[in-house]
Homo-oligomer: A and B are copies of this chain.
Amino acid sequence: MRVGPSQDEIRRQNLGALLRHVHVHGATTRAELTTTLGLNRSTIGALTADLAGAGLVSEGTPKETGRAGRPSLVVRPESARVYAYASSIEVDRLRAARVGLGGEVLDRRDLDRPRGMDAAETAPLLAGALKEMHDRVTADTLCVGAGVAVCGMVRRADGLVRLGPTTGWADEPLGATLADTLGIDVPVTVGNVADVAVFAEHARGVAAGCDNVIYLYGDVGVGAGIIAGGRRLTGHGGYGGEVGHMVVARDGARCECGSRGCWETEIGEHGLLRATGRIEARGRESLLAVFEAADRGDARAQTAVRQAGDWLGFGVGNLVNIFNPEMVIFGGTMRDLYLAAAAQVRSRLNHVGLPACLEHVRLRTPKLGDDAPLVGAAELAFERLLADPLDVG
């Protein structure tokens, strides 16, 4: 049963709204904040003073505006002082960044990750990169958390990776292991890579302002991050969005999950490599070689890419009928496949999708490109600060 908030909660909500605004939109004048947040000048003044007192924002005079009269003070996020760690564990690489409030990447590390490396080896490797950045940070700064994007199913409650078909991990307590290894006293939050990517594109990417979005992310497997009615769809345990295991062909190829004919057997890495005779090949480079071969006119590669594009449109059609989204975003290897076979995708989508569900849907590639998982992981880490700025700050 939902009841009205207390005075304390209202203040917390307002502090969060103000901080989120400058976090997403950057430096903003008090006058703009008054209009956008619908609060009066004195409230904005008091909230800004509280946030500045906690070292989360600073105030200053704006650049010359050319307009007469006393200029409105500008509120800026303290990007150099307040930051989060963001990491992305991918099939053959690890990425780590230190991201300032406001979204600026302050430092970053990219590492190779041998395929098959287990969680017990991966966590210290990643922790090492994070600690290396942490050693260079001065004492007057504030770390608000660490977010990690990982391919696979992640239990929302504690960051346990239930099943990572890409990494081969099963029931790995990644959240706990990383927190232990890291030895920095901040909460570690783990999210599925597609979930954090849609979060990033919704906050500061191509889906800003869209309330119903599907972000389809391909690596070895395929998953989706879904925004429905303005909120991330997580499902009961945090496992929602496993669209790669929507079965599209009853007697199709065997999937690593144990079932047959899962969508990812047709549009994922394995399917495309298999269809072009690259039986032993693995990884993004091998996949890009298929798209390049198709581009050069290789008939077998062209057929395989067109067929995978057709299957991509097929599954997107199903999702469009189920979710009636405004936007579908193709990220990771789904971006490559979509760009290589846009005609097939669109044609099959138009066939499968119901007219009413198709009429407002836009197909897009990510604005944040390959960095979406990293940006989203940072957003995941900032979420707690933005929900209750003074408690964290």
Q: Is A250 within 8 A of B247, CB to CB?
A: no
Q: Which residues of B contact A234 (CB under 8 A)?
A: 229, 324
Number of copies: 2
Q: Is A13 within 8 A of B20, CB to CB?
A: no
Interface segment out of the listed A36-44, A129-137, A143-151, A174-182:
A36-44
How far, in Å, is A352 (CB) from chain B's closest CB? Answer: 5
A125 within 8 A of B: no
A318 within 8 A of B: yes
Q: Is A240 within 8 A of B322, CB to CB?
A: yes
Q: Is B235 within 8 A of A357, CB to CB?
A: yes
A360 within 8 A of B: yes
Q: Is B354 within 8 A of A257, CB to CB?
A: yes
- From B13, B249, B355, give the contact of A4 (CB < 8 A): B13
Q: Which residues of B contact A259 (CB under 8 A)?
A: 351-352
A76 within 8 A of B: no
Q: Is B322 within 8 A of A243, CB to CB?
A: yes
Q: Is B250 within 8 A of A236, CB to CB?
A: no
How far, in Å, is A344 (CB) from chain B's closest CB? Answer: 14
A162 within 8 A of B: yes
How far, in Å, is A139 (CB) from chain B's closest CB? Answer: 34
Q: Which residues of B contact A38 (CB under 8 A)?
A: 3
Q: Is A229 within 8 A of B233, CB to CB?
A: yes
Q: Which residues of B contact A103 (CB under 8 A)?
A: none
Q: Is B5 within 8 A of A240, CB to CB?
A: no
How far, in Å, is A51 (CB) from chain B's closest CB? Answer: 15
Give 26 CB contacts A-B under 8 Å.
Answer: A1-B17, A2-B13, A2-B17, A3-B17, A3-B39, A5-B5, A153-B354, A162-B356, A163-B355, A163-B356, A229-B231, A233-B233, A234-B324, A235-B357, A236-B324, A237-B324, A237-B356, A237-B357, A242-B322, A242-B357, A243-B321, A243-B322, A245-B318, A246-B246, A247-B317, A250-B314
